Amino acid sequence: MRIKDIHTHTFPLEVGSALVCIDCDESLLREGHWHSAGLHPWYVTDNNRSSLDALESLLAHPRVLALGECGFDRLRGPSMQLQEDAFLRQVELSEKHCKPMILHVVKDFDRVIRLRKTLKPKEKWLIHGFRGGAEQARQLLASGLLLSFGVHANPDSVRSVPLESLFAETDSKTDIEAVFKSISGIIGKNQSETMEIIMANISDFLA
């Protein structure tokens, strides 16, 4: 496995080089690619049974390596209660199928910290597209969460993360090399060293 990009919605030109996030629909799987699958908080409703059933069968697929993105968004989507219900079901699936989680979290980090503390999951949780400050990053890391950074990352936050916990993503059409370039400038490594560090971390995360 040589995955460079932990979270994107775009199929990479180099097949197998990214974890491509899909909705709970088996027809979205593509030959040769690696995937994560989950119920995004924006699409949670008061009845998610069919999505969650489809998600459970996707998690049994050998090319689906993680559950997500799922999580919390205070600016978009249904009530926080519905978002939390759907999240809790996905935590159960993640634990049952031994797949780590990729989280979308907007303005709701305290809830994730609290849930991680009370549920004590065995699987890792990674917050994707983290743009917060260094203090918040440290707090999340201290609570056992992992962070992934894209082109809009806060440099102080990137520097506050130990190298063995550093992750990178495009989330869309950005070139992952551009993300490595920006992170390498921040952490003072060259671009290929940065890429090797991040690829090793991704491989550990998905192991």
**Contacts with Zn ion, residue ranges (CB under 5 A):** 171
Is 152 in a helix, a strand, or coil? coil
Closest by Cα among 139, 142, 72, 160 to 108: 72
Separation in Å, CA 119 to CA 80, 87, 92, 186 = 18, 12, 10, 34
CA 156 distance to own-chain centroid = 20
Is 95 in a helix, a strand, or coil? helix
Q: How far is the CB of 193 from Zn ion (least distance, A)?
A: 26
Q: How far is the CB of 100 from Zn ion (least distance, A)?
A: 16
Separation in Å, CA 91 to CA 27, 127, 175 = 23, 14, 31
Q: How far is the CB of 189 from Zn ion (least distance, A)?
A: 26
Instruction: Output 9 or 189, the one with its CB closest to Zn ion.
Output: 9
Q: How far is the CB of 57 from Zn ion (least distance, A)?
A: 22
Instruction: Output 42 or 191, the one with its CB closest to Zn ion.
Output: 42
Closest by Cα among 179, 2, 28, 25 to 11: 28
Q: Which amino acid is at 44?
A: V
Instruction: Output 154 or 174, the one with its CB closest to Zn ion.
Output: 174
Is 98 in a helix, a strand, or coil? coil
Instruction: Output 73 or 171, the one with its CB closest to Zn ion.
Output: 171
Beta partners for residue 166, in sequence order: 147
Instruction: Output 99 or 117, the one with its CB closest to Zn ion.
Output: 99
Instruction: Output 93 or 129, the one with its CB closest to Zn ion.
Output: 129
Strands, DSSP E only, in 52-206? 64-73, 101-106, 125-127, 146-149, 166-168
Q: How far is the CB of 200 from Zn ion (least distance, A)?
A: 23
